[in-house]
Structure 1
Amino acid sequence: MKTQLLVFAMITSVFATQMQGQNRTTVQALNSEISDNLDLRVVASIFGDSKNLRDFERRLNDPKLQISNLDLNNDDQVDYLRVIECVENRTHVIIIQSVLDCDLYQDVATIEVEKDWGNNVRIQVVGNTYLYGQNYIYEPEYYYTPLIYASFWISNYRPYYSAWSWNYYPSFYYAWNPFPVFRYRYNVNNCLNNYTYNHYNYVNYRSCNYAANIYNSRRSNGYERQYPEYSFSRRNSQVNNRYELDQIRNTRNVGSRNDVGYSNNRTEYPRANAPQRNDSQRDYSQNRTEYPRANAPQRNDSQRDYSQNRTETPRANTPQRNDSQRDYSQNRTETPRASAPQRNESPKENTQSRNPSSGDNNNSSRGNGNRRS
């Protein structure tokens, strides 16, 4: 009986350790940085390239572009991003929401567009505080004026509100599995390189005071209410927003790549082995160079004597052949010069003798023609 109790206790302890290991693994997965899965600069770039908000929502969820990599509900499928709009006077607030479940949405970012009385348009892309931290804002500068601006300030404008919801998506859309972060960044860089003339300036303040009040009236935070402990401030307690987190990451990457001590160790390692190998190579190279030099004189002497004999033979025969050719060439050239005047005079005489006859013939022919007439 005691042995059975001991075996049972051991089994329960093994299951307990396994459950603890699983819980630790789950916590590590949930602590991954959520903001790595959606770059707001790409959101700003496709917004400036869209015709209207319907086209903008299509580009956000295009399976070919794959702008988003968010999977907030952990179903191993990238969430659909829907777009809704709030308008007040000359201010448009476009809200991007992640569809998590039936009637469950989480705000990801907002695009705030305002037109002042001087007809100057100012735009800001603001990241959600829960995902990106406090005041994570980009101001895009477009090389060309976006076409979407023309659709905002028209008469009888109706704010856009997406008709799609959970399990009810447009025909072009199909869900895809999320990628690793490094692969998503590679895709994002390719998309940003296509818009090289645009600039995305980071700021930490909002230019429109009315936009915050408009947004608060239509706010959706379903994921935030479910997991309040996974906010950006708790995931990254040392920084305020995603921009500061990127600065820390860049300094760490530069320090690890440009570490002087590490580079010196790598360069000194082959230098320490170089002398032993170079000494053997130098002795061997000298022996090889001296070996052909010792054999070279015997072979070169025979070649030089033989080459001189071959060159002297044609030189002795050349004078006799050249004299005969020169005499013969002079005889040939003098002959046509002596006969040339005779041949030139004969054609002149013939032409003179022929001309009267030809004239008579012409006169005769003309006379015959008159007689006939």
Structure 2
Amino acid sequence: MKTKLLLLSLLTAVFATQIQAQNRTYVNAVNAEISDNLDLRAVADIFGDSRDLQDFERRLNDPELQISNLDLNNDNEVDYLRIIETVENRTHLIIVQSVIDEDIYQDVATIDVEKDRNNKIHVQIVGNEFMYGQNYIYEPVYYSTPVIYASFWSTNYRPYYSTWNWNYYPSYYYAWNPFPVFRYINNININLNINNNYNYVNNRRSNRAVVLHNSRRSNGYERQHPNASFSRRNSTVNNRHELDQRRVSRNETGYSNRRAIVQREYSQNRTSPSRQPAPQRAESSREYSQNRTSPSRQAAPQRAQSSREYSQNRTSPSRQAAPQRAESQNRGNTSRASGPQRTESQRGNSSSKNENRSS
């Protein structure tokens, strides 16, 4: 009996763990496209709005802005991005690192800031090759000179090195769950400053920045997932820019195919109804012509009969009126015949008057 209870308890425990594993949802960076979860244009945008690198790190991890959507350690929380800097003469190398575990960091992107001999400042945001492919670079052109430039070449400048690490974050920061990629992209497109330009290039300006980066590189995620590089995820393209172009061409092809199908259906719907109602139109025209001809033919006898009746009505009253006219004439004759009676009465009256006089 005890053994049965133990087996039942073990089975229930196994089923419970399986159900909990199914209910939990993770964003797996290996299976999904990692580069979709951090837009380097957004990184360039907030870099130009920052006062210094400390402010830049705060904006990069602001829960309200949500510039990043990276979850490299698959704990269903967006990773904290820390900033470290290396300086040599006129070159500043700024490294953006994802904190994925205790003392384990992964370089996500670098920002090369360099002043040339003419004191012109050049800025390039370079995507990590493991995440974005080869030579994925943006050169921002700001509509106004960023304030952060003034801090780089000030006297007694000290390179910035973030003090935050795993489970030790600033008070303003709290981890949030990663969003679906389409929602993250919409958020970035809304928050980008439209006055700035973000030009894609495939050549890195500063050779010195490459050397500085090799001395401070962190690749904890690469070591954990050696088969998750961009070249393995996307074997037909070199970097994220080519991937975006292919996606756009696919969307345009799909849109054009859908548009062609709609036009075909629309043309078929316009041609097929016009062919089908033709017999109906012929029948309706025939019925209309018959209705126009048959009533005229049927109405002909009616018109003849009505004309005959009308002629008879005109002739018969005249014939019936003849006796009435004769009667009226007879009445006239009787009135004329009454004339001699009046004369006789007059004569009688005159003879009576004469007899009275003689007497």
User: What TM-score range do you get, normalising by the shorter chain?
Assistant: 0.5 to 0.7
The one-letter amino acid paired with 1:265 is: R
User: For residues 210 and 265 of structure 1, do their structure 2 counterparts lie closer, same or farther at Cα, with a shift above 3 Å needed?
Assistant: same
**Match for 1:206 among 192, 204, 207?**
204
The one-letter amino acid paired with 2:148 is: I
**Shift of residue 38, structure 1, vs aligned partner:** 0.5
**Match for 1:245 among 243, 246, 265?**
243
Q: Matches of 2:268 and 2:231 in 1, distance apart?
A: 45
**Shift of residue 279, structure 1, vs aligned partner:** 10
- Is the CA contact (8 Å cut-off) linking 2:29 and 2:72 kept in structure 1? no
Name the structure 1 match of 2:70: 70
Q: Does 1:224 align with 2:191?
A: no
SS in 2 for 1:228: coil
User: For residues 28 and 64 of structure 1, do their structure 2 counterparts lie closer, same or farther at Cα, with a shift above 3 Å needed?
Assistant: closer
**Shift of residue 27, structure 1, vs aligned partner:** 12
Q: Matches of 1:230 and 1:29 in 2, distance apart?
A: 9
1:268-305 Cα deviation digits (max 9, x unpaired): 35435654689999x9xxxxxxxxxxxxxxxxxxxxxx
| Higher Cα Rg, which structure | 2
Name the structure 2 match of 1:196: 194
The one-letter amino acid paired with 2:162 is: S
Q: Does 1:263 align with 2:262?
A: yes
- Is the CA contact (8 Å cut-off) linking 2:27 and 2:178 kept in structure 1? no
The one-letter amino acid paired with 1:206 is: R
User: For residues 100 and 217 of structure 1, do their structure 2 counterparts lie closer, same or farther at Cα, with a shift above 3 Å needed?
Assistant: same
User: For residues 270 and 139 of structure 1, do their structure 2 counterparts lie closer, same or farther at Cα, with a shift above 3 Å needed?
Assistant: same
**Shift of residue 28, structure 1, vs aligned partner:** 8.8
The one-letter amino acid paired with 2:247 is: R
The one-letter amino acid paired with 1:271 is: R
Report how many aligned residue pairs link the two structures. Answer: 260
Q: Matches of 1:116 and 1:190 in 2, distance apart?
A: 34
Runs of at least 5 residues in structure 1 that lack an aligned partner in the other structure: 1-17, 284-373
**Shift of residue 222, structure 1, vs aligned partner:** 0.1
Q: Matches of 2:280 and 2:182 in 1, distance apart?
A: 47
Name the structure 2 match of 1:95: 95
**Shift of residue 263, structure 1, vs aligned partner:** 2.9
Q: Matches of 1:204 and 1:254 in 2, distance apart?
A: 25
**Shift of residue 197, structure 1, vs aligned partner:** 1.5
Q: Matches of 2:54 and 2:151 in 1, distance apart?
A: 11
Percent identity reads 65
**TM-score, normalised with respect to structure 2:** 0.68
1:107-151 Cα deviation digits (max 9, x unpaired): 000000001121100000000000000000000000100000000
SS in 2 for 1:100: strand
Name the structure 1 match of 2:132: 132
RMSD between superposed Cα atoms in Å:
2.7
Stretches (4+) displaced over 4 A: 26-29, 272-281
Q: Matches of 2:181 and 2:254 in 1, distance apart?
A: 20
SS in 1 for 2:85: strand
Q: Matches of 1:227 and 1:249 in 2, distance apart?
A: 25
SS in 2 for 1:123: strand
Runs of at least 5 residues in structure 2 that lack an aligned partner in the other structure: 1-17, 285-359
1:302-322 Cα deviation digits (max 9, x unpaired): xxxxxxxxxxxxxxxxxxxxx
- Is the CA contact (8 Å cut-off) linking 2:29 and 2:74 kept in structure 1? no
1:16-74 Cα deviation digits (max 9, x unpaired): xx9xxx9xxx9997322100000000100100010000110011100111000000000
SS in 1 for 2:227: helix
Name the structure 1 match of 2:40: 40
User: For residues 277 and 82 of structure 1, do their structure 2 counterparts lie closer, same or farther at Cα, with a shift above 3 Å needed?
Assistant: farther
Q: Matches of 1:38 and 1:243 in 2, distance apart?
A: 14
The one-letter amino acid paired with 1:191 is: N
User: For residues 278 and 122 of structure 1, do their structure 2 counterparts lie closer, same or farther at Cα, with a shift above 3 Å needed?
Assistant: farther
